[in-house]
């Protein structure tokens, strides 16, 4: 006689518990992926256009994107839409 024959509710309970845990894990993974995708999309949607920022792909004297506090290597900016050149510059330049 197996333990589950004596206590059939145990097998069912364990199975349900494992099934529930797998469903919950899958749900968490899907929710995290959706949040990450939504976060990136939201960040891109809130960035200023290059035109509005007065962006150009050439520096202004010694002021250039790769020495700006908003620069995000290799080719992005925290505030202005990508792509951003390391040697670029815009009106929002913020010295490091």
- Contacts with ligand SF4 by CB under 6 A lie at 53, 55, 65, 68, 70-71, 77, 79-80, 84, 88-90, 92-93
| DSSP 8-state assignment for residue 67 | G
Min dist CB 40 to ligand SF4, Å, is 18
For ligand SF4, give the closer residue by CB, 6 or 96. Answer: 96
Phi-psi region of 18 (alpha: psi -120 to 50; beta: other; left: phi over 0): alpha
Min dist CB 33 to ligand SF4, Å, is 28
**How far is it, in rounded angstroms, from Cα 48 to Cα 3?**
65
For ligand SF4, give the closer residue by CB, 25 or 84. Answer: 84
- From the number of C-beta atoms within 10 Å of its C-beta (0-12, 13-18, 19+), residue 15 rates as exposed
Min dist CB 38 to ligand SF4, Å, is 23
């Amino acid at each position: 006689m197996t333990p589950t024959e004596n206590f059939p509710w145990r097998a069912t309970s364990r199975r349900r518990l494992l099934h529930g845990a797998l469903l919950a894990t899958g749900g968490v993974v899907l929710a995290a992926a959706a949040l990450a995708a939504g976060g990136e999309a939201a960040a891109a949607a809130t960035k200023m256009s290059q035109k509005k920022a007065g962006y150009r792909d050439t520096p202004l004297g010694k002021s250039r994107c790769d020495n700006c506090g908003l620069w995000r290597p290799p080719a992005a900016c925290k505030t202005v839409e990508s792509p951003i050149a390391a040697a670029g510059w815009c009106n929002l330049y913020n010295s490091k």
